[in-house]
Amino acid sequence: MPETYAWEMFSKGLEALERDQAFLALSCLEQAKPLRENPLYCSSLALCLAKTRNAHDEAESLCREAMNNDRGNPTHYLHLGRILMLAGEKKKAVKTFREGLKHGNDPRIIRELDNLGLRRPPIFPSLDRSHPLNKFGGLLMSRLGCRN
């Protein structure tokens, strides 16, 4: 019976985390402690810790441990990227999100990257981004479908 309760609390915690209710998610996940060996539990708990207690270093460590135990799951990369964003490390977060996309096409990661509004590198890196060759060259390449 306790294991069933733990799984119920775990799933409620994941739902709350997706709805951005970090305190509720943390409460549910802390009640699901018997699942502590589950990598998804660890990375979800790590994100909750970062959001609610600003324990970014501890959260990053816990999430990386979960990633090492379950390398191919893009959800861990999503959680670590969000933790890094909360810690103010945008470049590391973007790199983590992109790494996560290599392990699976997770729409939540794509949404995070879209929300960041990342720009593609200029066509001619030696020229300023606002140079007409870069502006119109980028538009032309995008319309021709040569630039993703």
Contacts of 48 (CB under 8 A, 6+ apart): 13, 17, 22, 25, 26, 29
The pLDDT value recorded for residue 148 is 58
CATH number of the 2-117 domain: 1.25.40.10
- Please compute the mean of the pLDDT values over residues 36-47 and round it to a whole number: 92
Residue 54 sits at the vertex; the CA angle it makes with 19 and 64, to the nearest 5 degrees, is: 80
Cα separation, 103 vs 85, in Å, equals: 20
Residue ranges, comma separated, of all CATH 1.25.40.10 domains in the chain are 2-117
pTM for this entry: 0.77
Cα separation, 107 vs 41, in Å, equals: 20
pLDDT of 1 over the 60 cut: no
The pLDDT value recorded for residue 13 is 92
DSSP string, 1-70: -HHHHHHHHHHHHHHHHHTT-HHHHHHHHHHTGGGTT-HHHHHHHHHHHHHHH--HHHHHHHHHHHHHHS
Residue range 108-123, pLDDT digits in tens: 999 999 898 867 788 8
Residue range 64-106, pLDDT digits in tens: 999 999 988 999 999 999 999 999 999 899 999 999 999 988 9
The pLDDT value recorded for residue 117 is 80
